[in-house]
Amino acid sequence: MTVTALAVLGLWAGLAYQATRPQDASGYLRTALQVATSAHDAAATGALVGRQQLRGHLFGPAAATAYDDAVRAVAGAQKKFGSALAPDGAPAALRDRLAPLVQATARELSRAATAADDRTLRDAVAALDDTARRLDDLIEANR
């Protein structure tokens, strides 16, 4: 009985250590690239939706739903990114490059979704296009 209890205790201690230890550099890179990909896709979707609105091909509820989906995707990416601890060195530099791009994606999606006029929407679309391009560059540089 004592041996079994010690074995179970050892198993739980091992699992607790695995769950709470910081990620290594490769694990963090994988998480950062997943976050960057989600943010890129959200930015690209927001830009596409905005361009369709500007052309008069997408209206009201359909655009709102598309923006909501993109905002939810980037919010999930922000949550995942916020819970990942970057080890020192190169991953920390990646975090410092990625964080503002994820934040810009969320901000510009919100601006596009609430745009009251074409100029504001056009500016948000341009910013989303730029952010998507910069995220794509970051992803390609870190594969």
pLDDT in tens, 34-87: 999 999 999 999 999 999 999 999 999 999 999 999 999 999 999 998 887 767
Q: What is the dihedral of CA 63, 66, 72, 77, to 10 degrees?
A: -120
- Return d(Cα 113, Cα 68) in angstroms, integer: 8
pLDDT in tens, 5-47: 455 455 565 555 454 555 567 888 899 999 999 999 999 999 9
pTM score, two decimals?
0.81
- Return d(Cα 87, Cα 109) in angstroms, integer: 30
